[in-house]
Structure 1
Amino acid sequence: MPAFSTTEHLLTNNAGREYCLRVWRPAGIRPNARLGTLLFLDGHWLNDTLDEALSSVALDTVQIASLGYRVAERSILAPWRAYDYTPAGPRGLDSDPRKAEWPCGGANHLLDFLRQQVLPRLNTPDGADDPVTLFGHSYAGLFSLYGWLVAPALFKRIYAASPSLWWYWPHMLALLQARHPGSLLDIGNSTPVHLYIGSDERWRPLPAIPGAAREPGVSTIPFAQRFHSALLASGHPDNSLQILAGLAHGPMLHSAAQNALKHFISVQK
């Protein structure tokens, strides 16, 4: 059973925001070995889960990576994630639909950061590796789908867990339906897309009246089902929608990450 060794890279984007890229590689593997790579976003919340999961992995043809922020306070991370993981809003809107003081629209900057600083560190020195597979949950799941839509050749496979498709709904659905035919569509259709949704997840918008109690919310399953139906209608051949029973939004992060890791390993064998 191979053990995994870990390395960490401390990275800073052009705006001065600090990230940590953690990489698990099979111990003793040669530096130029070509490995299938799965990158998890929000590593600050997932690293312990990945450590535990990889302790029982007996495969030396994969490397796992996580990209997380170097701070852990949710009050700080919430607006950062609301910016980093979201595209520009529809009709020029530049703030989060839940909190007007949170700016949105940083997804293209994050894609550039991945291209320039993250993905090169996951390749062999000769740069001959296959594209990296991407996992994201919640806002990061939204980002994973957006990244696939606008940069279809950048990732080999997409896992989007609990993607925040309610975000200016139906904005992401419209972006999917507006995909142009031709070579970019063919490239995008060659990328498998996997959606995970918890059966107990709810979208609970903030009330317009300050201090008012939040309502119980509505299920997020219909958002995912409509997006998945549009994915099928677009001719995309390799996709799935899995509903995980009994899971709400928070527990979905770790459960979906474990499911994605197991599936990723199964397709590498």
Structure 2
Amino acid sequence: MPYFCLTVFVITTAILTSMLAPKAQAETQAASAAATEMQPTQTILEHVVHSKILGRDVRLLVWKPKQDAPEGGYPVIYSFDGETSITVFAEFAGQAAMLGKRYGLVPPVIVGFAEMPGGYTMERRTHDYTPYADHYELSERPNGFEWPELGGGDTYLDAVMNEFKPLINAQYDVNRTRETLFGHSLAGMMTLHALATRPDAFDAYVAVSPSLWFNSPQRFEEMTALLSNPDFAPKDPIPLIMTVGSKESGLSNWDSRLSDEDREQRLIWKKMNAMVENTEKMADLITEQGKGKIELDFAVLERENHHTAKPITMSRAIEMAMTPR
């Protein structure tokens, strides 16, 4: 299947003109006017795939190391939310590539699942990143809107397994025994859902700030079912990184800029979601019942919120993927 090169690079320049003499200001302005576009530091490849399972075109955004593949192929990280994840992942992986040379380690191929340009909406994301259930128990949304259609998560995972991964396996020299699934927020919940219901689908899992409040206690019940199943006896424990920001259950510094009414509503929503408490509860469950089955690396990231926890954990995911087991 053909692929297309997609490059994204943003440069922001600040000039403190108040500190410059008039002549220097004029020279600076002339230089700024002659600025040319800088070459991107990383290149992202774009594969457009028609998914028969999803009934629409989607994109697979891929970063590939410049180094030759190691014996057995590159490790690979598959990431939900490719639109917002791939460039950050690519920058971190590029830095890890330079460091890894010292130790004879090669970074992973990064694959981001993404919609077509203009196709990304919160309604579609909510549908695709929520598992099916016969019934949903959900609180009112903070914006007062009705919940969109839910429950497309298992169909989306079918597309990942039967359409997306086979394409990557055919196009790139990847190691099929070193595959990691990465997700954040609703996608973090989907990552845990994949582990609980398809433990053989990937070799390692990374769940950042998983939305375990969604239709609780469904995620806890399915994880308990997996860990208590005598047929679930992996030869080696399955690696799982799970993180959450310490400030996710309360107000952030920026929330102080909201009106009193909006700040109160936001606090109510965050307390109901109990992101920190629910993630700690899941970590306790896995620690107590998953000995010898799941190798858990759990952290509450101090001073971090729902958004800043993601890039920190991306770096940890790359390190884990690069390290042979």
TM range (shorter): 0.7 to 0.9
1:227 to 262, 278, 282: 282
- 1:112-191 aligned at under 5 Å gives the runs 112-123=158-169, 129-130=176-177, 132-179=179-226, 180-183=228-231, 185-187=232-234, 190-191=237-238
Establish whether residue 55 from structure 1 lines up as the match of residue 94 from structure 2. Answer: yes
Establish whether residue 245 from structure 1 lines up as the match of residue 302 from structure 2. Answer: yes
Query: Cα distance, 1:215 vs. partner?
Result: 4.0
Query: 1:82-128: per-residue Cα shift (whole Å, max 9, x none)?
Result: 11111123x52398864543111111101110112111123257997
Q: 1:115 to 1:96 in 2, by over 3 A?
A: farther
Structure with higher Rg: it is: 2
Q: Is the 8 A contact 1:21 1:68 kept in 2?
A: yes
Distance 2:118 2:182 in 1: 19
Query: 1:173-229: per-residue Cα shift (whole Å, max 9, x none)?
Result: 11111225223x21397321110100111389xxxxxxx741413241110111111
- 1:186-205 aligned at under 5 Å gives the runs 186-187=233-234, 190-202=237-249
Cα RMSD after superposing both structures: 3.1
- Aligned position for 1:268: 324
Query: Cα distance, 1:5 vs. partner?
Result: 5.9
Q: Is the 8 A contact 2:78 2:111 kept in 1?
A: yes
SS in 2 for 1:92: coil
Distance 1:127 1:251 in 2: 29
Distance 1:170 1:34 in 2: 39
Q: Which moved more, 1:52-61 or 1:41-50?
A: 52-61
Q: Is the 8 A contact 2:189 2:207 kept in 1?
A: yes
Q: Is the 8 A contact 2:54 2:159 kept in 1?
A: no
Distance 1:32 1:22 in 2: 24
Q: 1:233 to 1:136 in 2, by over 3 A?
A: same
SS in 1 for 2:210: coil
Query: Cα distance, 1:243 vs. partner?
Result: 1.2
- Aligned position for 1:107: 153
SS in 2 for 1:186: coil
- Aligned position for 1:207: none
Distance 1:264 1:128 in 2: 11
Query: Cα distance, 1:244 vs. partner?
Result: 1.2
Aligned residues: 255
Q: Is the 8 A contact 2:74 2:108 kept in 1?
A: yes
Question: Unpaired segments of 5 or more residues in structure 2?
Answer: 1-40, 99-104, 252-260
1:78 to 105, 122, 133: 122
Query: Cα distance, 1:45 vs. partner?
Result: 0.4
Q: Is the 8 A contact 1:44 1:69 kept in 2?
A: yes
Q: Is the 8 A contact 2:213 2:278 kept in 1?
A: yes
- Aligned position for 1:208: none
Distance 1:142 1:123 in 2: 25
Query: Cα distance, 1:156 vs. partner?
Result: 0.4
2:111 to 46, 53, 65: 65
Distance 1:162 1:252 in 2: 7
Distance 1:17 1:188 in 2: 38
- Aligned position for 1:209: none
Distance 1:119 1:66 in 2: 11
SS in 1 for 2:76: strand
Identity of aligned residues (%): 21
Question: Unpaired segments of 5 or more residues in structure 1?
Answer: 205-211
Establish whether residue 87 from structure 1 lines up as the match of residue 87 from structure 2. Answer: no
Q: Is the 8 A contact 1:7 1:23 kept in 2?
A: yes
Q: 1:5 to 1:49 in 2, by over 3 A?
A: closer
Q: Is the 8 A contact 1:88 1:94 kept in 2?
A: no
Moved over 4 A (4+): 3-6, 30-33, 94-97, 124-128
- Aligned position for 1:9: 47
Q: Which moved more, 1:157-166 or 1:26-35?
A: 26-35
TM-score normalised over the length of structure 2: 0.69
Q: 1:18 to 1:236 in 2, by over 3 A?
A: farther
